[in-house]
Chain A
Amino acid sequence: MSERIFLGNEAIGLGLVECGVRVATAYPGTPSSEILSAVATFAKQLGRPVYTEWSTNEKVAFEVALAASWSGLRSAVAMKQVGLNVASDPLFSAAYTGVRGGFVVIPADDPGPHSSQTEQDSRLLGLCAKVPVLDPSTPDEARQMIGVAFDLSERFHTPVLVRPTTRLCHALQGLAVEERPGPPPAKDLGRFRKDPTHWAATPRYRYRLHVELEQKLAEIEGAFEISSLNQRLGPAARAPLGVIASGVAYAAVIEALADLGVDLPILKIGTPFPLPRRLVAEFLESVERAVVLEEPDACVERQLTDRTRIFGRLDGTVPVAGELGPEVVYAVVRHALEVLGRRVPEAPSSALQQAVAAIPLPPRSPRLCPGCSHRSAFFALKREFGPQALYPSDIGCYTLGLNLRAVDTVLDMGAGVTIADGLSKASRITGESRPIIATIGDSTFLHAGLSPLINAVHTGSRFVLIILDNHTTAMTGFQPTAASASAPTAKRVSIPDLARACGVDFVEVASPYDHESFRQLLRRAHDHTKAPEGGVAVIVADWPCVLDDPSPLQAHPIPVEITQECDGCRYCVEAFECPALVLSPDGSRVDVDLSLCVNCGQCIDACYKGFIVPRLPAEVSA
């Protein structure tokens, strides 16, 4: 048996290629980012012709893939859950227009949340948009569900959501590739066929499409009643307690029941929307009470009309926020059994947990990497504009500028610009004059920063916008942007030219590594926002991500040392926050951790007393 380990996202990518996807698009975002690269890898490996692209944002990605479906090609789009918000406009509309080639939408939810702004449930967005949703519980099942989703999409001419969660996306499982090559590539249905009653439907036709959509959903629910994705397991006899579980929570509850030594009827739901209501009703008739386990919100539970016998999120049994980790699932089932008077084994001794809890452990928060040019940019901002300035920012690695207190707001992709715009307008009304210094990454600017910038310029707002251009989408694993050199054939767009085209009069490019000229530029930019003829000033802070492209750094290494005079004042540790600057155990001085230091020399200015100095060549060789 030839098996290798697959990440959940790789299993999804493999499933897409096996099922004959022809066009796959995505915008990177944790926990979804590895899906598209897996599609590209397996397409090459299995010799299948697949077009893949990192689109500029999720709405673009969705629409590019949808047009491929309208052209009769199997297509798919992947994103993180908040990306589906960006793509919700075409999602709702495409439910009405319908599709031709199978069209699978993969929004990855992030219960916890581990790396997201919200714990929203994409299954509920599917419910609102009237798009069927499949909810896999393991990587292997996710791979299988892709085929079901394509078939369903083509049979009912509807987009289909396959919704994984973080713990599935980043689970590893052994899967065999060779032995199960999957179905042959779907035959392309032909070219785009003109059909204005669908693809360009006016409100009159939209009404008709809505009626059709509701009929489709009723038929899909009927198909789900007999689908093997929904299964009753465990004892068939009438029981005091049953479990309804969807997604990763199903895997967790199977183990919890084994650990508790109880055998309960389980209804595994693989199709949370539309919910196969007859199947669920039959299950509920066979049990006195039922626990509903699903995440991150209550999708199955909300579709139950009679919840009087349900233990779930809506009655407070299941915590309203956070991940359904194995401890939570275990505790919920145990609680339900106790309420019903069942004797359950004691929870394992928590002596160890209590002993560890009694010893304070410093939290290890994520920090910008050693050598990151964002740190240099933020440090310059703080020195130039001080703690009183307003620092709207955005989504990316540079959100960690929070640690340097150079980030005051983080809302959603692109809001770094719009919040600055709104603060400028609010300041005018309240009569205050604090500088507004916004930051946004290159990929985020291209994703959702352009319309906000046009708005700000057009309406006369005044702020400095710093586009932190590290030539890649670093946080999610170095995906190329439209402005970075990706494929040799890809046309690169220029960020400074885009800013000028948005109407910005002050656009300058500078390296944040060059402290003096960068600070001078910050001053000039701020002056522009105060000048009578001024407005928005844009600075493109240009330096490649040190992880993605360390070559410019390596070309001019500046090793540093800390002089004997260091008095351990902690200023550099706190204000510059480089992981390679560490306070000695007795707190008397700061040392350079040479295993982390990348010789960027950026910290030399971080000691205002001058105790961080370049290490002399003689000492380097010594």
Chain B
Amino acid sequence: MNAGPAPGTQLVIAGLGGQGVVFATRLVAQAAISLGWPVIAAETHGMSQRGGSVLSHVKLGPYPSSMVRRGCAHLLLALDPGEAMRALPFLAPGGGCVVNTESSLDERLEPVLRETGIRVHTQAATSLALALGSASLVNTIIVGCAAGLGWLPIPVETIQAVLDELAPARREANLAALRAGVEAARLAAPVT
């Protein structure tokens, strides 16, 4: 597929060990590669995977460094609301944040989010994932949401094709989760 040049998007994906941050990272990175874009990304391994904070970085474009500097990310995908808060400082003014939460981000942040033009889309992805059969689908739902909003500059079909490759054994569940995420984003009220 010819999707034009890499968009130069920097994103961070935050969550807790066991939530599938690494899978979401590889999903986005491999999808970008299949579009012919240069990609560099950074994963967290080791001790931090035992239930601790996990943060990964993905950069779509000819970046030499795998790490995103605080204040430079265009997009934050957060699989956990607490980890969303921790990772917010990575966002650049005007950036977007898709966060899995049953409520909303801390209201004390509202003034600064308005001031910096950061858009937040909240998605109750855990209940949606459980309805689809497994809490482990939160990662794919959030990626779908970001793609559905148009904030993740990768076509949904591309992500879908990569899901087939990366998770053949859980293909149906992941495809359903991706579609659910995309749908939820499209149904949501336009965010400002």
Contacts and interface: CB of A to CB of B under 8 A. Distances in A.
Interface of A: 1, 3-5, 7, 30-31, 33, 114-115, 137-138, 167-168, 170-174, 248, 250-252, 254-256, 259, 325-327, 330, 347-353, 355-356, 358-359, 361-362, 364-369, 397, 400, 475-476, 579, 595
Contacts of B45: 30-31, 33, 115, 170
Contacts of B47: 30, 114-115, 366, 475
A170 B43 contact: yes
A174 B39 contact: yes
20 contacts: A5-B33, A115-B48, A138-B40, A170-B44, A172-B25, A172-B42, A248-B66, A251-B65, A327-B70, A348-B71, A349-B93, A352-B113, A355-B109, A356-B88, A361-B82, A361-B85, A365-B51, A366-B51, A366-B52, A367-B51
Nearest to A3: B33
Interface of B: 16-17, 25-26, 29-30, 33, 36, 38-53, 58, 63-72, 82-83, 85-86, 88-89, 91-93, 106, 108-109, 111-113, 115-116, 118, 130, 135
Contacts of B71: 347-350, 352-353
Contact of B48 (A172, A330, A356, A366): A366
B36 A326 contact: no
A352 B116 contact: yes
Contacts of B30: 4-5
A114 B48 contact: yes
B39 A326 contact: no
Contacts of A171: 40-43, 66
B116 A351 contact: yes
Contacts, number: 158
A420 B108 CA distance: 50
Contacts of A173: 39-41, 66
Given A174-B39, A353-B70, A5 B29 contact: yes
Given A138-B40, A400-B50, A352 B65 contact: no
A5 B26 contact: yes
B46 A30 contact: yes
B69 A259 contact: yes
Contacts of A114: 44, 46-48
Given A358-B108, A359-B85, A364-B83, A4 B50 contact: no
A433 B88 CA distance: 52
A65 to B, nearest CB: 24
B65 A369 contact: no
Given A172-B29, A327-B70, A366-B17, 20 more contacts: A1-B36, A114-B44, A114-B46, A115-B46, A115-B48, A172-B39, A172-B41, A172-B43, A172-B58, A251-B66, A252-B67, A254-B64, A255-B63, A255-B69, A326-B68, A351-B112, A358-B108, A361-B85, A364-B53, A366-B51
8 smallest beta-carbon distances between A and B, as pairs: A30-B46, A115-B46, A326-B69, A171-B66, A366-B50, A251-B65, A172-B41, A355-B112
A254 B65 CA distance: 8
- Chain B CB within 10 A, most for which of A167, A172, A358: A172
- Chain A CB within 10 A, most for which of B46, B70, B93: B46
Contacts of B92: 348
B39 A5 contact: yes
Contact of A352 (B17, B26, B42, B91): B91
A137 B64 contact: yes
Contacts of B88: 352, 356
B10 to A, nearest CB: 10
Contacts of B44: 114, 170
B69 A362 contact: no
A326 B43 contact: no
Contacts of B67: 167, 252, 325-326
A368 B66 contact: no
B66 A167 contact: yes
B65 A248 contact: yes
A353 B71 CA distance: 8
A10 B144 CA distance: 28
Contacts of A330: 69
A351 B117 CA distance: 12
Given A5-B39, A167-B42, A172-B29, A352 B50 contact: no
A174 B38 contact: yes
Contact of A5 (B41, B48, B118): B41
Contacts of A359: 85, 106, 108-109
Nearest to A30: B46
A5 B56 CA distance: 15
A355 B26 CA distance: 31
A4 B33 contact: yes
B3 to A, nearest CB: 14
Contacts of A349: 71, 93, 116
- Chain B CB within 10 A, most for which of A137, A174, A327, A365: A174
Contacts of A259: 69, 72
Nearest to A372: B50
Contacts of A250: 64
A505 B26 CA distance: 52
